[in-house]
Amino acid sequence: MATDGSLRPGHDALGFDHVDDEAYTALAADLREAVDGEVRFDEYAQVLYATDGSIYQARPAGVVVPETTADVAAAVSVAADHEVPIMPRGAGTSLAGQGIGPGCVVLDCSVELDDVLSVDPEAQVARIQPGVVQDDLDERLEPHGLQFAPDPASSARATVGGGIGNNSTGAHSVRYGITDAYVREVEVVLPDGTRAEFGDVVLDSPEWDDLVSRDDRVAELHRTVRDIVAENEAEIESRYPELKRSVSGYNLNKVVREEDGEQVMNLAKLVVGAEGTLGVVVEAELDLVTRPDERALAVYAYDDLVTALAAVPDALSHEVSAVELVDDQVVAMARESQAYAEYAEPIPEDAAALLMVEFDSELHDDFAAAMADVTTTLQTEGDAFDRIEAYDADAQARLWKLRKAAIPLLMSMEGDPKPYPFIEDASVPPDQLAEYVQEFQAVLEKHGTSAAYFAHAGVGTLHIRPILNLKDGADVETMHAIADDVTDLVLEYHGSFSGEHGDGMARTEFTPKMYGDALWDAFKRVKTAFDPQWLCHPGNVVYRDSPDDHGPATKRGVGADMREHLRYGPAYQTVEPQTALDFDDDGGFAHLVELCNGCGTCRQEGSGTMCPTYRASQEELQTTRGRANMLRAAISGELDEDELYSERFQAEVLDLCVGCKGCASDCPTGVDLAKLKSEVKHQYHEREGATLRERLFRDIDRWAALGSKLAPVSNWAAKLPGSRAVAETVAGIAPERELPSFQRESFTDWFDARGSSVSASGADHRVVLVPDTYTNYTDPAVGKAAVRVLEAAGVHVAVPADLGPSGRPAYSLGFLDHARDRAETFVETVAPRVDDGWQVVFVEPSEAVMVQDEYADLLPASPDRDAVMAATSGLCRFLDEHRLAEAIDFAAPDERLVYHGHCNEKAIGQDHHAVGVLRRAGYRVDPLDSGCCGMAGSFGYETEHYDLSQAIGRILFEQVDDADGTPVAPGASCRTQLGDRPGAERPPHPVEKLAEALPGEE
C-alpha cells in the first residue's frame, strides 16, 4: 500500500490521530473478545466499507457485525477504550457520505439487527431494530393496512435505521412529511457504551423532575439540551426554514414541542438526522399511518422545465399525495437503458419535463373527478401539453420505476464527467421553485457546466446534479465553488441546503453558513454533551474549528472540506488491462467497473434477478457493488498489484459470482459482473493455470458425448459405492449432487433416424435446432418436444450432428480462447444456412444468450457473426415473435403452470416470451418474480459452492412451493436444481408442456 496516508486507516492525512498496525491488532483482538458477532479488520473488509452511494471513499479501521444490542454496547465501549471512532451503518446507500467513516470501527447493523420486534395495529406503532429494510417493514405491516410513511426511492434496500440517521423521506412527503415525525422513541448506545432510551417527557412535570434529578448521563443530556434550546430560542425561530423538508444540522427546532398546552421534550427527535454522531440507535418505536387502499397517478408533460416548476403551486392547490418532477435527460437515459427502456415508452418524445401527480383513496372517493380537476388546472387552463393517466397499480408502478431510477440512471452516463450529487437536494418553498431554478441555472452557466434535474417538487426539493469530472482537479474546485454559490442562493430563498439526504461529507462544511454562529456553537455543545471525546462519526453534521474546540485536543472532527476523500479525485488512476474480450462499447474495462456508483440496488431482495449470492449470504462482498469495489481497488493500485490474481481474490470475489447476468439488466448503471469475471478468470488461467474440475466442465460436451456412448455402463459407474467420494477427491464435485444420467440414443441420433416431417420447400420457416449438451445427451425429450411443436407450426427443422458447442461453458469459466475457438466454429458452420434464410433456435436459454449477447464481445465484428447473432433466438421467443403458436390448434389441459424464467434471458429482456406462448396454448400461467436458481451450470456441482448453491435455491424453492401450479423452467440448470429437492420431480421445459397440448397428444 502507498504510505502517503490517502487510503490507509488511521493515518494523519485522514484527519485522525495516527494509530499504528500494532494498535489496530490489539483493538481487533479486544473486539473479538467482547462481541459475539464477526469482527473484520482485514484489507478486504476495509475496501468493501470504504464507499457508499456517494462520491466519497475512505477506509475504516475495521468492521463489526453485531448480533445483539449487547454487542453494539461492547463494541462501542472497546473502541472508546482504544480512542478509536465508531460509525453505525445500514445498507450504505447514503448520497452525502454518511456511510463512510475514515479510520472508524464500522458497526454494520444491516446483517443481524434486522428484526421487526413488535407491531401494535390498534395503536399504529411498530418497534424495530435498525437493520430492517423499509420494504420488509412495510410488507410486515401490509396485512394490518398500515405503513411507515417515509418512502425513499431506495426503500427496497435501505434500512430504517439509516433512514433515522439521515432523517429520510420520499415522494410522499407532501402528504406525510419526514422521518422525524414518525420516530416516537429510540434506544441508543451512547459513545461511552451507556444504553439510553429517549422518548416524550413533559417539561416541569413530576416525571421531568424525577428524570433530571438523577445523576446519570440521560439526566445530564436532558438538562443540557433544554438549556441549549432555551438559550437559542430566537435563533431557532429565525434560522430554521419553514419547509416540510429540512435535514441539515441537528433538530433543535423539534426537540421541544407544544402539545395540549404543555411543552414536551423528546431527545429521539434530536437523534433523528444526527447521522450516527450522537450515538448508535439499536431500537426504535415508530408511529405508523394507514395505507390507502388505492392510488391513481397522472403524468403531465411540459415543453419547458421552468414552466413545469411554475405549475407546482397549482398542483398543490388540489388534495394530492405526491408531486414529482422528472426532466428529459432522465427520460432519455431510461430509453437507452436495457433495464428501464420499457418504463419510458409511454412518455411523449418532445416532453422537456414531467410532473407526476398522485392521488390516494384516503383523500378522494372519485379518482376520475379528482384527476379531471387537476387536468383542468394544469392542462386545459395551464401549460401542460399532454398527460398520461394510470389507475391500474401495475401501470402506476411502471411510471414510478422511471422516477425512482433517476439517481442511478444519471450515474451511468458514459465517460468520466458525471452528474454528481453534492448540492442535489437543496430545498426552497415550492412556490419559488421556478425563480430559484432560473437563478440556479445562472450559477451553473457561471461555472461552465450543466445539470440533470428531478425533484420532489411538491415540497420544493430539487435534485440538481451538475455534470463534472472529479478526476480533474479544476472540476473539483468548480464543485466546491458551485456548492458555495448554491448555499448563498438557498439562503436567499430561506431554504435548506439539504432537504433529504443530510449533511455527511458533502455538506457539513457549509452548515455554519446556513445556521449562523450562535446555532453553530449550539450544535457543537450538543455534540460534546452526547460525545465528549468526539468518537461518534466525527466530522459529520458538525465539526470543530480547532483541536481544542468543544472537546479533547485531538484531530478528531476538526474541520470539514467537501473536496477531501473523493472516490475519484485528481490522484485517482487505473491501469487499463489488455483484454481478450471487447470492452469498447463499455468505455473500457476500468470504466465498466467504475460504473458502479454504490447505490446498492444489488442488495434488494424482494424482486428482480440481482444479486442471488447476496440474497443467500447477506454478505457485502457478494453484491455486485462489493465485487465492483474490489475490482476497482485492484486496478487502481489500492490493493497490491498482484492481488487480483491471488487465490483469495479468485475464490472470494469472483468464483462466488454465478454469472447470472442479472447485474447487466437490473443494475441501473449496467455493471456486467459476469463479463468482468470471465475476463479476469481468463487472465488468471493464463498466469496460474486451471484445475482439473474447471477443465472438465470446460469440455463438458466431450465428456457427455463419451458418457452417452458408454451408457448405461457410465450411469452404473456413477452409482457404484465410493464413486461420489472419488468424484469429490479427483474433481471437487459435491457428493450430495445427483450426477446426470446419460441417454444411449442422443437427440441428434434420434433426429438422424427420423428426419423432419415438414418439407423445406413448402415451409415458411426453416430452423437449425441446436442440440446443446444437456438436451443432446441427458434430456433428449426436450429436443424431441421442440421438434414436434415446431413442425406442428409448419416449420422445417434441421439438427446438424456436426454442429459443435456454442462455447458457453468455456466462456463462463473464463477460458476465453477455447470459447472463441468454439464460437468461430459455430458461426462458420451455421452462417451459410443463415445466409440462405434459416433461423438458429436453442431450447437452452443460456446457449441462446451466449450467441445473441456474448459473441459481440468474444468475436471480432464480421458480416457472418452479426448475421448469426441476429438470426439466433430461444425457442419460445421464436414461436412468439413469428406468431407461430397461433398457427397451432392447441388443446391444453386445464392446468395452472408456475413459470421460472432463466436469468440469462431476463438479462436481455426475453424471458416473457414463454409465458405468452404457454398462455396462447391454453394454460393458466403465473410467472415468478424470481432470480437465479443457484445451480448456474457447474457452480452447483462444486463442493465448495454446494451450500451457497442450495441457499440460493431455497429462495426459489419457497417461491415455487408457495405458488399454485406445476413448475416449468426452460433452463437445464434450473430444472436440475428444482428436481434435486427431496421428493420433487424434474420440472418440464415449457416446450414439453406445449408438446403435451398438441392435437392428438396424450
1002 pLDDT higher than 60: no
Residue 533, pLDDT score: 95
- Between 131 and 931, the more confident residue is 131
12 pLDDT higher than 70: no
Residue 6, pLDDT score: 27
**Best mean pLDDT range from 69-78, 415-424, 897-906:** 69-78
Distance (Å, rounded) from C-alpha 105 to C-alpha 537?
Answer: 9
Mean predicted confidence (pLDDT) in 716-738 = 88
Is the dihedral angle over the CA atoms 13, 17, 21, 25 positive or is it negative? negative
Residue 17, pLDDT score: 38
Cis link prior to 712 (omega < 30° from 0)?
Answer: yes
Residue 623, pLDDT score: 95
Determine contact, residues 937/846, Cβ cutoff 8 Å.
yes
Mean predicted confidence (pLDDT) in 571-595 = 92
DSSP state of 548: T
Kindly report, residue by residue over 912-942, the tens digit of the pLDDT: 999 999 999 999 999 999 989 999 999 999 9
Residue 1001, pLDDT score: 61
Cis link prior to 611 (omega < 30° from 0)?
Answer: yes
| Per-residue pLDDT band at 105 (split at 50, 70, 90) | very high
Distance (Å, rounded) from C-alpha 1002 to C-alpha 1000?
Answer: 6
Kindly report, residue by residue over 435-452, the tens digit of the pLDDT: 999 999 999 999 999 887
| DSSP annotation string for 941-958 | GBGGGHHHHHHHHHHHHH
Start-end of H helices in 723-798: 723-731, 747-754, 773-777, 780-792
Start-end of H helices in 123-257: 134-141, 160-166, 173-176, 206-212, 217-231, 233-239
Measured in degrees and rounded to the nearest 5, phi and psi for residue 629 equal -60, -40
CA-wise closest residue to 201 among 223, 178, 169: 223
Kindly report, residue by residue over 449-480, the tens digit of the pLDDT: 988 777 788 999 988 889 999 999 999 999 99
Position of cell 469530472?
469
Mean predicted confidence (pLDDT) in 686-713 = 93
| Per-residue pLDDT band at 724 (split at 50, 70, 90) | confident
| Per-residue pLDDT band at 131 (split at 50, 70, 90) | very high
Which of 159-163, 462-466, 796-800, 873-877 has the least mean pLDDT? 462-466
At 932, is the secondary structure helix, strand, or coil? coil
Determine contact, residues 412/341, Cβ cutoff 8 Å.
no
Distance (Å, rounded) from C-alpha 574 to C-alpha 77?
Answer: 39
Distance (Å, rounded) from C-alpha 705 to C-alpha 340?
Answer: 42
| Per-residue pLDDT band at 69 (split at 50, 70, 90) | very high
| Per-residue pLDDT band at 744 (split at 50, 70, 90) | very high
Percent of the chain with pLDDT over 90: 80
Residue 416, pLDDT score: 87
Between the CA of residue 553 and those of 23, 50, 522, what are the distances in Å?
20, 26, 19
Interacting residues of 34 by C-beta distance below 8 A, sequence separation 6+: 74, 75, 77, 78
Determine contact, residues 401/343, Cβ cutoff 8 Å.
yes
At 455, is the secondary structure helix, strand, or coil? strand
11 pLDDT higher than 60: no
Residue 853, pLDDT score: 95
Q: Is 57 exposed, middle or buried (0-12, 13-18, 19+ CB in 10 A)?
A: buried
* Amino acid (one-letter) located at 631: L
Between the CA of residue 642 and those of 593, 646, 688, what are the distances in Å?
18, 7, 12
Kindly report, residue by residue over 969-999, the tens digit of the pLDDT: 999 999 999 999 888 889 999 999 999 999 8
Distance (Å, rounded) from C-alpha 41 to C-alpha 25?
Answer: 8
564 pLDDT higher than 70: yes
Could you give the strand order of the β-sheet that contains 195-198, starting from the edge strand earlier in sequence? Answer: 116-120, 125-128, 280-287, 183-189, 195-198
Decide the pairing of beta strands 353-360 and 295-302: antiparallel
Residue 730, pLDDT score: 87
Residue 983, pLDDT score: 84
Report the chain's mean pLDDT, rounded to a whole number. 92
Residue 638, pLDDT score: 92
* Residues paired with residue 183 on neighbouring β-strands, in sequence order: 286
Mean predicted confidence (pLDDT) in 20-44 = 91
Residue 15, pLDDT score: 33
Determine contact, residues 321/175, Cβ cutoff 8 Å.
yes
Distance (Å, rounded) from C-alpha 532 to C-alpha 539?
Answer: 14
| Per-residue pLDDT band at 408 (split at 50, 70, 90) | low
| Per-residue pLDDT band at 19 (split at 50, 70, 90) | very low
* Residues paired with residue 108 on neighbouring β-strands, in sequence order: 89
Q: What is the 3-state secondary structure (H, E, C) of 591-626?
A: HHHHCCCCCCHHHCCCCCCCCHHHHHHCCHHHCHHH
E-assigned strand segments in 303-434:
322-327, 353-360, 386-390, 418-419
The grid coordinates listed for 908 are: 436481455
pTM over 0.85: yes
| Per-residue pLDDT band at 688 (split at 50, 70, 90) | very high
| Per-residue pLDDT band at 14 (split at 50, 70, 90) | very low
Residue 984, pLDDT score: 87
Which of 89-93, 571-575, 875-879 has the least mean pLDDT? 571-575
Mean predicted confidence (pLDDT) in 256-280 = 96
Determine contact, residues 943/692, Cβ cutoff 8 Å.
no
Mean predicted confidence (pLDDT) in 165-185 = 94
Distance (Å, rounded) from C-alpha 6 to C-alpha 59?
Answer: 9
Kindly report, residue by residue over 317-371, the tens digit of the pLDDT: 999 999 999 888 888 888 887 667 888 889 999 999 999 999 999 999 999 999 9
